[in-house]
A = this chain, B = another copy of it.
Amino acid sequence: MSNAPDRAVPFSGLTRLDHVGIACRDLDAAVEFYRSTYGFEVEHEEVNEEQGVREAMLRINGTDDGGATYLQLLEPTRPDSPVGKFLERNGEGVHHIAFGTGDVAASAAEVGGRGVRVLDAAPRRGTAGSQIVFLHPKDCGGVLTELVQSTR
Contact = CB atoms under 8 A, between A and B. Distances in A.
Contacts of A6: 1, 62
Chain A, interface size category, equals 35 or more
A134 to B, nearest CB: 15
Interface string A31-47: 00100111110000000
Interface in A1-50: 1, 3, 6-7, 10-12, 14-17, 20, 22-24, 30, 33, 36-40
Contact of A33 (B30, B62, B91, B141): B141
Interface of A: 1, 3, 6-7, 10-12, 14-17, 20, 22-24, 30, 33, 36-40, 60-65, 69, 71, 91-94, 97, 99, 111, 114, 116, 137, 140-143
Given A10-B38, A37-B111, A141-B24, A97 B99 contact: no
Nearest to A71: B17
B17 A92 contact: no
Interface centre among A22, A63, A71 (most CB of B within 10 A): A63
Contacts of A3: 3, 62, 64
A129 B61 CA distance: 23
